[in-house]
Structure 1
Amino acid sequence: MAFPRLEHVGIVVGDLAAAKAFFAELGLEVEGEMTIEGPAVDRITGVAGGRSEVAMLRTPDGHGALELIRYLAPAGPDGDPGAPANTPGIRHILFEVQDIEDVLHRLRPHGAELVGELVQYEDSFRLCYVRGPEGIIVELAERVG
């Protein structure tokens, strides 16, 4: 059996515009935006009376996407935007980039902050974690050698 393709990862955010701007700066392209609600959506998500704004952003190579979701109703519980990298749950997503220092420079005006340090890992990558909008941890990887 072939492994199914990973289509997208959904991330719930409070500020959809800020999250879109952050990921657009990384090079993702807005593929579409919509408002989603209705009985079928309620049954799928298990959120009664759910109404959300959704933006789908696709990677430039077309192989993956992020679904950014802002719930308009009902209000959900607050998360911990400062949760450390070892907290259970989906904790980070990785993007391979070119010129990691330039990417860091461009992300800082969008609220990105280094979680640790930019480090050369063996002879393969320069790596770092940055915390972006809503506390999302994004790992940046620049291939070396």
Structure 2
Amino acid sequence: MKIKYVHTNIIANDWKKVSLFYQKVFGCKPIPPERNLKGEWVDKLTGLPDAHITGEHLALPGYEGSFPTLEIFSYGSMINNNSKEINNVGFGHLAFEVDDVENVLQRIKEEGGGQVGELIKAEYPNNVIATLVYAKDIEGNIIELQSWETKSDV
């Protein structure tokens, strides 16, 4: 049995703005073509009458060749009734390993995103230090930034 993780989907109020946010902050790259999906097969797949989906896939940083993508779509008709909190049941957050958590957090804020909790440093086994923070993109989706280093012997 073949199993392969393919993508994570974000439904956005404005897919173009959200896509641009992930391109600017994380260096994600659009994978053509842009999607403009509608018709009987989309209605059957989604269970929605007259469904119309637009958006694109983004290549995530750190992969070459065959890779999972971030799929950012908007529907012609959407429901906005879910609050995005760190402890909600269901999808929680995207995580990116970065060289400089503080710098990327600042870029997120400059592009219209925000910060959830405090930036912390945590000690892990084997002299490993993690720098971690939760942030939000421009539509409130939660992003974890993480950086890992080994403590130098003193």
Q: State the Cα RMSD in Å.
A: 1.6
Is the aligned partner of 1:31 residue 2:8?
no
Amino acid in the other structure paired with 1:137: I
Q: Alpha-carbon deviation of 1:121?
A: 2.0
TM-score by length of 1: 0.89
Aligned counterparts of 2:122 and 2:31: Cα–Cα separation in 1: 34
Aligned counterparts of 1:132 and 1:79: Cα–Cα separation in 2: 17
Amino acid in the other structure paired with 2:118: E
TM-score by length of 2: 0.84
Alignment match, 1:77: 79
Q: Alpha-carbon deviation of 1:94?
A: 0.7
Alignment match, 2:70: 66
Q: Alpha-carbon deviation of 1:76?
A: 2.2
Alignment match, 1:8: 7
Consecutive unaligned residues in structure 2, runs of 5 or more? none
Is the aligned partner of 1:139 residue 2:144?
yes
Amino acid in the other structure paired with 1:16: W
Q: Quick check: 102-111 or 132-141, which moved more?
A: 102-111
Aligned counterparts of 2:7 and 2:130: Cα–Cα separation in 1: 24
Alignment match, 2:108: 107
Aligned counterparts of 1:130 and 1:15: Cα–Cα separation in 2: 19
Amino acid in the other structure paired with 1:86: N
Aligned counterparts of 1:117 and 1:67: Cα–Cα separation in 2: 28
Check conservation: 1:50, 1:71, Cα contact below 8 A: yes
Alignment match, 2:57: 56
Query: Which secondary structure does the structure 1 equivalent of 2:96 belong to?
Result: strand
Greater Rg over alpha carbons, structure: 2
Aligned counterparts of 1:8 and 1:34: Cα–Cα separation in 2: 15
Amino acid in the other structure paired with 1:107: I
Q: Alpha-carbon deviation of 1:27?
A: 1.5
Aligned counterparts of 1:80 and 1:135: Cα–Cα separation in 2: 11
Q: Alpha-carbon deviation of 1:80?
A: 3.3
Deviations, residues 6-59 of structure 1 (Å, cap 9, x unaligned): 110111000112201211121211112121111111111112110111210011
